[in-house]
Structure 1
Amino acid sequence: MEWFFDPFTVSFVQRALWGGLLVSAICAVVGTWVVLRGLAFLGDAMAHGMLPGVALASMAGVSPLLGAAASAGTMALGVTSLRRLPRLSGDTGIGLLFAGMLASGVIIVSHSESFAVDLTGFLFGDVLAVRTGDLWLLGAACGITAVVAAVGHRSFVALAFDPRKAHTLGLRPGLAHAVLLGLMTLAVVSSFHVVGTLLVFGLLIAPPAAASLWAARIPLVMVGAALVGAGSTVLGLLISWHAGTAAGATIAAVAVAAFLVSAVCSAVVNRPRAPAAGPAAAPKDLPTRTRNEQ
């Protein structure tokens, strides 16, 4: 078992493991709501929309996290404002902001001759470079996410399944949507420096999507997503150590592979069975098919 334990005796791999586990927990909670509400495109847009803020912060010599938070917050406010326009669909507004923010970031980067290395880190992350301060930051983000998700659980459920009924019950779906955008911003900003913006999307979507195929209750989906994310982190670090691959990319690839395996297994387990032979089976099976078709 030395091949399993040896990598985790190294201090920077240990920090990478804890960082990946904390990111997995944050993305499990937030990603569950992203998957249930069909906000994957918005999550991807927010991840890429941080580029101009990170570029400006790096060029100004300040923390990239501040720039990332500013850009992600701008994206969230822009989406909230554009969704109020009656003749503009939500996807159209997200796409416009996505293209605009990404184009702005590329323009800013093109004027900086020394930003190439930082841009690579922004896109792909460096989980093996996680520091102790980063772990404290991720721990704080994880705690805030858990508290907000617990307090707003009832409103988030109503928003996900029946926004009109949520408004009738006085649950303020507009505020719930804004808080959910805030959680997405927190998850993306706190995680991008660990796995990168191109890869945080994998941990935000793949583990909750994999768990949702098996769990019938939202808390169970979150727990399952956290377990899938944790397993992807451990296996990804092992593969990266022994195969010499990029750690962040390997973790995200394992998470996506876990979803594909989950989808195939779910399709096999839930495959409809052929009706039993004999004339008596047809009348019993017909109403079931009719209800499913409706």
Structure 2
Amino acid sequence: MHALLDPFTTEFFSRALLGGGIVAVICGVVGTWVVIRGMAFLGEAIGHGMLPGVALATILGLPLLLGAAVSAIVMSGAIGALQRRGRLSYDTSIGLLFVAMLSLGVIIVSHSRSFATDATALLFGDILAIGSADIAVLGVALAVTVAVTIGMHRAFVATAFDRRLAQVLGLRPQLAHIALVGLVTLAVVASFQAVGTLLVVGLLIAPAVAARAWTTRIPTTMVAAACIGVLAVAAGLLLSWHAGTAAGASIAGSAILLAALSSGTRALLERATRLRSGADTPTTTAAGVTPALADPTQIPERTS
């Protein structure tokens, strides 16, 4: 056991665990809404859309996080503009810009010879290189995430359940959607150094999926997702240390494994319960607009 915990005695490993833990909490909070609203494709697109900004930042000698943030913001804004001014659906707009930004990033990378040793970290993260300044930035990102989530909670719930009703109630669903896209962008950028541009959606979605198997209320899901995310970070870092695997991929893989184990265990328990009770189908309860809005902590039964 002592040998297993040896990594925690090193300074860089402790910083990686702290930084990764903060990222996991951010992703747990935002990822809950991503799963509820079915916005996984947006998270994936923004993650890949960071590539051009990160590549240019590397060439110009600027902070990678700055390049990632600018590129992600441009991606988010372009998606909204293309949807408002064009005749394309939301997912079509995301798909087109996803490919465009990814292609631009690959072109920039392939045109420069300075990525011989940086490409892996760019795509899969370099959480072991997290420093004190990075942790401070992540702390600010966490504070912003929590503040926006608390302030916009009721609007998020109403918009997820019924946009028209949210409009009638004066909850400004369009503003709520923009705020949620902003949170997704913030979470993706914050996760960049931990898991890179290719694996970010795993840390964003998997812990929330694992948590939703056992929870029915949004705050509870967020807390559980954050805890599962922190566990995935710790497990991934330990696996990387002892097995010599890539840290970012190990973290993302651990998160996916926890989600699979959680969902599988829940399904087995429900099946066993039905067999014991002699029921052929699980009991369901009808969901209406009024109960959902009366209890804004309840996860909406349908999304838009």
Same-fold status (TM-score > 0.5): yes
Alignment map for 1:1-294 (pairs within 5 Å): 1-84=1-84, 87-271=87-271, 273-274=274-275
Name stretches of at least 5 consecutive residues in structure 1 with no aligned partner.
none
- 1:235 CA displacement: 1.4
**1-side partners of 2:8 and 2:51: how far apart?**
32
Q: Which amino acid aligns with 2:49?
A: G
Q: Which amino acid aligns with 2:183?
A: L
**1-side partners of 2:243 and 2:145: how far apart?**
34
Contact 2:59/2:114 (CA < 8 Å) preserved in 1? no
**2-side partners of 1:173 and 1:96: how far apart?**
25
Q: Which moved more, 1:32-41 or 1:109-118?
A: 109-118
Q: Which amino acid aligns with 2:135?
A: L
List per-residue Cα deviations over 1:92-144 (Å, max 9, x = no partner): 11000000111111111121011232222111111111111111111111111
Taking structure 1 as reference, are residues 275 and 85 closer, same or farther at Cα in structure 2, changes over 3 Å only? farther
- 1:78 CA displacement: 1.5
Name stretches of at least 5 consecutive residues in structure 2 with no aligned partner.
287-304
- 1:158 CA displacement: 0.9
1:83 alignment partner, SS class: helix
Structure 1 moving runs of 4+ over 3 Å = 274-277
Q: Which amino acid aligns with 2:122?
A: F
Q: Which moved more, 1:86-95 or 1:19-28?
A: 86-95
| Aligned Cα root-mean-square deviation (Å) | 2.2
**1-side partners of 2:218 and 2:85: how far apart?**
31
Across the two proteins, how many residue pairs are aligned to each other? 285
Q: Which moved more, 1:23-32 or 1:183-192?
A: 183-192
List per-residue Cα deviations over 1:236-280 (Å, max 9, x = no partner): 122211111111211111100000001111111222725978xxx
- 1:20 CA displacement: 1.0
1:4 alignment partner, SS class: coil
**2-side partners of 1:276 and 1:218: how far apart?**
29
**1-side partners of 2:195 and 2:73: how far apart?**
20
**2-side partners of 1:52 and 1:220: how far apart?**
37
The normalised TM-score by structure 1 is 0.91
**2-side partners of 1:116 and 1:251: how far apart?**
24
Q: Which moved more, 1:173-182 or 1:233-242?
A: 233-242
**2-side partners of 1:69 and 1:131: how far apart?**
18
**2-side partners of 1:122 and 1:11: how far apart?**
23
Between the two proteins, what is the percent identity of the paired residues?
A: 57
Q: Which moved more, 1:160-169 or 1:255-264?
A: 160-169
Larger Rg: 1
List per-residue Cα deviations over 1:155-213 (Å, max 9, x = no partner): 11111111111111111111111111111111111220122112221110000011011
The normalised TM-score by structure 2 is 0.88
**2-side partners of 1:7 and 1:63: how far apart?**
28
Taking structure 1 as reference, are residues 86 and 100 closer, same or farther at Cα in structure 2, changes over 3 Å only? closer
- 1:83 CA displacement: 2.8
